[in-house]
Structure 1
Amino acid sequence: MTVIYSSAVPQTGSETETPTRRFHTTADRVVDRAQPDITNIYAALLRGRDTKPDYKSLGKRDVLGTVTEEKTVQHKVDGKLEQTTKEWSFFKLSEYKWMSYAQVYEYTKNLGAGYLKLGLKPKSRVLIYAPTSREWQLCAFGAFSQSMQIVTAYDTLGESGLLHAMNQAKVDLVFLKADQMPTFARIMDEVETVKHVVYYQDLYGMPKGCEEAIEKVRAKFGVSTIDETHDLGRDNPVELALPDGQDIALVMYTSGSTGKPKGVLVCHQGVMSVAGGIHEFIQPYLEYYNDVVLSYLPLSHVLAFFVDVYCIYSGLAVGYGTPRTLTDESVRECQGDIKALRPMVMLGVPQVWNTIRAGMLKQVDKSSWLVRKLFYGAVELKNTLRGYNMPHNFMDSIVFKKTREATGGRLKFVITGGAPINRNVQRLMTAALCPMIQGFGLTEASGLVAVQLPSDSSFNNVGSPCPSVEMKLVDVPEAKYFARNGQGEVYIRGPSIFKGYLDNEELTKETVTEDGWLKTGDIGEWTEQGQLSIIDRRKNLVKLVSGEYIALEALESTYKNSLFIHNICVFADSRMSQPCAVVNIDENLIAHMADEAGVHYNNPSEIASNKQFIAHVLADLQQVAKRNNLAKQETLTAIRIDSELWSPENDRLTPAMKLKRSDIRDHNQDKLEDMYTQMNLESI
């Protein structure tokens, strides 16, 4: 029987708009709160305290120290193999240590009282400039306990972005990890409203240079640790002062792929409507007050934040990890976060899954012909059987045993979001690991907009509208996307829609229509089963000289099927008949890849500009285009290689791991001009 995932609302739609659609089991309403009648985020914690006060809620691992190892690296210099020795540092971590719901409640209530004693009041703003951690959430819930607002700042945000967020949001208190104190100290004289700084540190001690920075900051601001602030509140207790559902909970700064980050005003009820919406469909797949979720993505990003809040509300324990300590290979004298926690659910962004896929397939391709045939055949067979709802898990203990053991062996499903995932990546992960469900969300919608069900065996879609929103598609005539074909820009409406951009009413009016529809900028398409497929991004549609439009983001997702590349940024404009691209290959791997490809070179630094190697990578990408049935105008005609790994630290990626296209363009301007010259010569 065909499953229908969303329903059309009667008497909606027009020549330029598809009918409005809602989640199929809530077609008569849009969910506006979490049950029972919870409209503020702190009340989610109170529900857990009242239901299972002694059950574990938030877990962390202490850093016990670091282990240094020397590794020998081989590379060619002037045609000869040479060896160099490098030092690598690894963390040694404790087992997970847990706080119960009752303990989290007591700690955050006291922390909120401590904020009050420092001079803050309801609606004061607390900026969190720290990595994802238990302390991050303790700080946030402490603020929520007294109706204060959280301002988010990625811990990788540069000085100018941090200063912009603090000053625009008129922040009263900054919460940070000791590691971030030197950054704050460098800009402290330009800070306008901050009066207090609260920090925490790892068990193993203070990082180098931080103590001096703390003393410098102490000369101008009130400085205390999180535990000192908690103790201050414990000694000066006050009653909870919980916010109204429509009060602002977060000033959440978007990751800023272009221009300065925008402060998105998210209210309490917006977040809790998402939690209520999730609860409508996810319950059959989870065991509450038993299952554990791994949290390591940035809590400053809405994806990680709303998932954590849902876990706290529903009774799923949250164990915190870091990207640096996820696997056994990245730690010493202990297990990595995944094996130590053995989660039932974990999240990731496409860049994470692409890296895992590439590593997995490179290991498979080193195996014998028989092993490769068995592995790839099993991937196809398992996905086929799953698609027909037939038994398929019998292969897990035979073919996929090692991949499942690497993640603790208990995963029920993983969630991917932040950007579209490639179909082949999703198929591989679903077969070799566990069902991978794709979601679609925006900060401006308090997080989730659409998501697949774990039982959904289809690919190339982001599922149905979340019960907290309703959705329609609107014509984009210049790009030939029309509602009559079930395509158009995605518009959403519901209680999770944000309250506007901080100090930017003009942009708010451009983004939200008078009748409350949020224009997402994403181009969508309805499937026959009522799922949404994201097929384009309005700002990444480029018109070629032929008059045809191509979608840069969609092409990048396809070309990431190549095992040669780490990342790719596709470029095109109205002068061109076909696109070109800057390809990112890690300089630590490029020599190894050149050796495997049989490309001769004298020095590793030359490989990125070696014409033979560039031609080899381009040929591979063109084969990817052919295998994925891309049209000629979508097929790359030239590439150049950037061997400096793109990251948030060098401003090539946002903290959410999305491409910063303009920064990549500026950094590689000479390579782009070189390609334009090449393409012009070839067209003569």
Structure 2
Amino acid sequence: MAVIYSKAVPQTGSDTETPTRRFHTTADRIVDRARPDITNIYAALIHSQQTNPDSNSLGKRDVLGTVTEEKTVPHKVDGKIENTTKQWSYFKLGEYKWMTYDQVYHYTKNLGAGFVKLGLQPKSRVLIYVPTSREWQLCAFGAFSQSMQVVTAYDTLGESGLLHAMNQAKVDLVFLKADQMPTLARIMDQIETVKHVVYYQDLYGMPKGCEEAIEKVRTKFGVTSMDELHDLGSSNPIELTLPDNQDIALVMYTSGSTGKPKGVLICHQGVMSVAGGIHEFIEPFVELHHDVVLSYLPLSHVLAFFVDIYCIYSGLPIGYGTPRTLTDESVRECKGDIKELRPMVMMGVPQVWNTIRAGMLKQVDKSSWLVRKLFYSAVELKNALRGYNMPHNFMDSIVFKKTREATGGRLKFVITGGAPINRNVQKLMNAALCPMIQGFGLTEASGLVSVQLPNDTSFSNVGAPCPSVEMKLVDVPEAKYFAKNGQGEIWVRGPSIFKGYLDNEELTKETMTEDGWLMTGDIGQWTLQGQLSIIDRKKNIVKLVSGEYIALEALEATYKNSLYIHNICVFADARMTQPCAIVNIDENQIAHMADDIGVQYNNPSEIAANKDFIAAVLADLQLVAKRNSLGKQETLAAIRVDAELWSPENDRLTPAMKLKRTDIRDFNQDKLDDMYTQLNLE
């Protein structure tokens, strides 16, 4: 008998709305907290400190230094291969060092006392502008210990975004890493409310230029190191001042795919209701106080934050890493974070998994016909056996041994979120690594809205509603999505829903109904087993000249099946019969494909404009469309290549690795105009 993952609430639904659905084991209630006595985030730490004081909690690796290597890089000049020498820097890291729950509790209590000694009060705002790290979470809990609010800012946000967050949120104190001091120094004259700056630095010392920046910052703000702040609090101890469950915990700035980032107001109950919801279903799949979780995604993004908070509450040790040091290839004289920590659980966004898949399959495709056949057959067989709940792990030591060893060999499951994952990527990860579960969340819902269970063997869905919310689908008639067909815009309600956007009541009213429903803007569909599939994004549904609608994000996810592209941004409007796209290909992929088709080039920009190269990439994408049964109106009619790799640093991607369509369009307007001319749209 098929498992039913969610149940309809009796006497709900209408002609324009599906019945409201809840998680199958909590259909009679909505989980509103982790435990009756835990009404705020800091109380979750107190709970673990009292029940398991000596258990490992937060782990980090010290940076012991850097190793510089010279590498010879071949490139073509006038059709001839020439070599140039470049210097590459790598980190050398120590082993993981752990703080116990008792140590975290006392350290953060002292930080909170230090904040108060500096003059901060309950509801004062502390902006955290550091990369994902143990220090990030220690600072946050220090603020929570005295009912202060944490304002998040991506460490890659840039000067204008950082300034916007500080001034709009009326921040009192900024916490940052020493090597970010020059950024603060450049904008310090435009900062309106900040009075104090607290910083930390790595073990190997102060980066070049930071000491001068610190001295400049001292001319306007009080500047204290993290260690000094801790010692200040230790010398001036005070009692905890814990917040109420409805008090604001976070002003979390969204990554801003369009326009300025928005400050989302998240209360303590919102975060802890998600933690309680997770606890309802995850316990059978993890061993508390033993299984280790790798955290490396931005803590300024809600996905990493709520997972960390659940781990701190439930007793799962967290080891911190960075995207730059994850693998053995990215460090020297030590292991990468994954092999050093050997985690049981880790997270990633689709762009991470897409990159891993492409690298894995390119290695496979270099093998003999027999090895390729064995590998691809094993992927299909393992997924099929798993789907029927039959033994399948016997293939791990034969076919997938190397891929599993690359991640430490202990992974129980990985979590993907932030955007829909391609079905083929999920199938490969399920076979070659471990089960991949897909989740759906929003900053406005304190993170988690729905998620697959680790033993769910189905694809193309994001699981059932989290026990902390209820969910329904509402008609979107202009796009022909109707509740009677089990489709519509996803509306979510529950204690995890946010308290509004900072200083933007109008936008809050546009996003929330009077009776508490969050209108997500995502289009969903219920499966027969009560899981949610995300099939569209309301704002990315485009009507073509034929009157047919296409979904840009869904098409992009499909076209990423191509092994030649790194990323893709699809464009369409009411003048067009078929879409076009700007394609992103990194330098290594360009060289590989150019060799395949025999195109000579001197640099990436030159080959990106080569007509034969563009035609070859387009032909590959059109083949992907055919293999995935896309209709003619969904098949790309033209493409252009952007040779500069998209990243948050050049404003083509958000810090959460989502496309910034407006910026990609503006940067590539000449390429779009060229395609529009080719398609006779001008």
Task: Tell me the TM-score range normalised by the shorter chain.
Answer: over 0.9
Matched, 1:75 2:75: yes
1-structure distance, mates of 2:282, 2:588: 42
Aligned to 2:528: 528
Structure 1 unpaired stretches of 5+: none
| Structure 1 position 35, deviation (Å) | 1.9
Q: Does the residue aligned with 1:481 lie in a helix, a strand or coil? A: coil
Who is 2:467 aligned against?
A: 467
Shift of 1:451: 0.1
Q: Which residue of 1 aligns with 2:127?
A: 127
Contact 1:58 1:98 (C-alpha < 8 Å) held by counterparts? yes
**Structure-1 residue corresponding to 2:99:** 99
Q: Which residue does 1:405 correspond to in 2?
A: 405
Please say if residues 490 and 524 of structure 2, whose CA atoms lie closer than 8 Å, have aligned partners that are also in contact.
yes
The CA distance in 1 between the partners of 2:325 and 2:602, in whole Å, is 36
- Aligned residue number for residue 447 of structure 1: 447
Paired residue type of 1:131: P
Deviations 1:114-134 (A, max 9, x none): 000000000000000000000
RMSD: 0.9
Separation of aligned partners in 2, 1:636 and 1:191:
46
Query: In the TM superposition, what whole-angstrom CA distance separates every residue of 1:72-124 from its partner, at most 9, and x where no partner exists?
Result: 11111111111111111000000000000000000000000000000000000
Which residue is 2:492 aligned to? Answer: 492
Q: How far apart, CA to CA, are the structure 2 residues paired with 1:214 and 1:593? A: 47
Q: Distance in 2 between matches of 1:19 and 1:207?
A: 57
Query: Which amino acid is 2:407 matched to?
Result: T
**Amino acid corresponding to residue 667 of structure 2 in structure 1:** H
The 5 Å alignment of 1:191-590 reads 191-590=191-590
Amino acid at match of 2:173: L
Q: What residue is the counterpart of 2:676 in the other structure?
A: 676
Tell me, in whole angstroms, the C-alpha distance in 2 between the residues paired with 1:387 and 1:227. 52
Whether the 8 Å contact between 1:591 and 1:607 is mirrored in structure 2 is no
Q: Is the 8 A contact 2:471 2:493 kept in 1?
A: yes
With over 3 angstroms needed to count, the CA separation of the structure-2 counterparts of 1:502 and 1:604, relative to structure 1, is closer
Structure 2 distance, partners of 1:110, 1:591, is: 54
Q: Which moved more, 1:600-609 or 1:394-403?
A: 600-609
Rounded to whole Å, the distance in 2 between the matches of 1:243 and 1:57 is 23
Shift of the alpha carbon at 1:604?
4.4
CA distance in 1, matches of 2:207, 2:481: 54
Q: Is contact 1:78–1:603 with CA below 8 Å preserved after alignment? A: no
Q: Amino acid of the residue matched to residue 206 of structure 1?
A: M
Q: Is the 8 A contact 2:75 2:602 kept in 1?
A: no
Which residue of structure 2 aligns with residue 163 of structure 1? Answer: 163
| CA displacement, residues 153-209 of structure 1 (integer Å, 9 cap, x when unaligned) | 000011111011000000000000011111011111111100000000000011111
Q: Which amino acid aligns with 2:490?
A: V
**SS in structure 1 of the partner of residue 299 of structure 2:** coil
Cα displacement string for residues 213-257 of structure 1 (whole angstroms, at most 9, x for unaligned residues): 000001110000111001000000000111000000000000000
CA 1:238/1:602 → structure 2, altered by over 3 Å: closer, same or farther? closer
SS across alignment from 2:441: strand
Cα distance in structure 2, aligned partners of 1:175 and 1:140: 10
Shift of 1:602: 5.1
Correspondence 1:107-186 to 2 at 5 A: 107-186=107-186
Mapped contact 1:78–1:602 kept (Cα < 8 A): yes
Q: Which residue of 1 aligns with 2:593?
A: 593
d(CA) in 2 for partners of 1:257, 1:294:
27
The residue type paired with residue 265 of structure 1 is L
Q: Distance in 1 between matches of 2:406 and 2:328?
A: 9
* Alpha-carbon distance between aligned partners in 2 of 1:587 and 1:388, rounded to the nearest angstrom: 42
Amino acid corresponding to residue 613 of structure 2 in structure 1: F
Structure 1 stretches of 4+ with a deviation exceeding 4 A read none
Alpha-carbon distance between aligned partners in 2 of 1:641 and 1:431, rounded to the nearest angstrom: 33
Q: Which moved more, 1:448-457 or 1:28-37?
A: 28-37
Give the C-alpha shift of residue 38 in structure 1.
1.3
1:211 and 1:398 mapped to 2: Cα distance? Answer: 54
The 2-side partners of 1:37 and 1:512 are apart by: 29
**Do the aligned residues in 2 keep the contact of 1:76 with 1:604 (CA within 8 Å)?**
no
Q: Does the 8 Å CA contact 2:564/2:589 hold for their aligned counterparts?
A: no
Offset of 1:615 from its aligned partner? 0.4
Whether the 8 Å CA contact 2:565–2:589 is kept in 1: the answer is no
| Code of the aligned partner of 1:7 | K
> What is the TM-score of this pair, normalised by structure 1?
0.99
DSSP-derived class of the 1:680 partner: coil
Report SS of the residue matched to 1:62: strand
Q: For 1:274-312, what per-residue CA distance to the aligned partner results, in whole angstroms no more than 9, with x for missing partners?
A: 000000000000000001000000000000000000000
8 Å CA contact retained: 1:34, 1:273: yes
Is contact 1:77–1:604 with CA below 8 Å preserved after alignment? no
Q: Partner amino acid for 1:124? A: S
Cα deviation for residue 601 of structure 1 reads 3.5
SS at match of 1:255: coil
- The equivalent residue for 1:616 is 616
% identical aligned pairs: 86
Letter in 1 for 2:363: Q
Q: Distance in 2 between matches of 1:457 and 1:265?
A: 35
SS in 1 for 2:165: helix
Distance apart, 1:587 and its partner CA: 2.9
Counterpart residue number, 1:8: 8
Deviates more, 1:601-610 or 1:434-443: 601-610
Q: Which residue of 2 aligns with 1:46?
A: 46
Q: Partners of 1:245 and 1:36 in 2: how far apart?
A: 11
Per-residue CA deviations over 1:354-376 (Å, capped at 9, x if unaligned) read 00000000000000111000000
Task: Tell me the residue number matched to 1:633.
Answer: 633
Contact 1:75-1:604 within 8 A present in 2 as well: no
Checking the alignment, whether the CA contact within 8 Å between 1:121 and 1:148 is kept in structure 2 is yes
1:139: Cα distance to partner?
Answer: 0.2
**Between Structure 1 and Structure 2, how many residues are aligned?**
682
- After superposition, where does 1:637-676 map in structure 2 within 5 Å? 637-676=637-676
- Say if 2:9 and 2:20, in contact at 8 Å, map to a contact too: yes
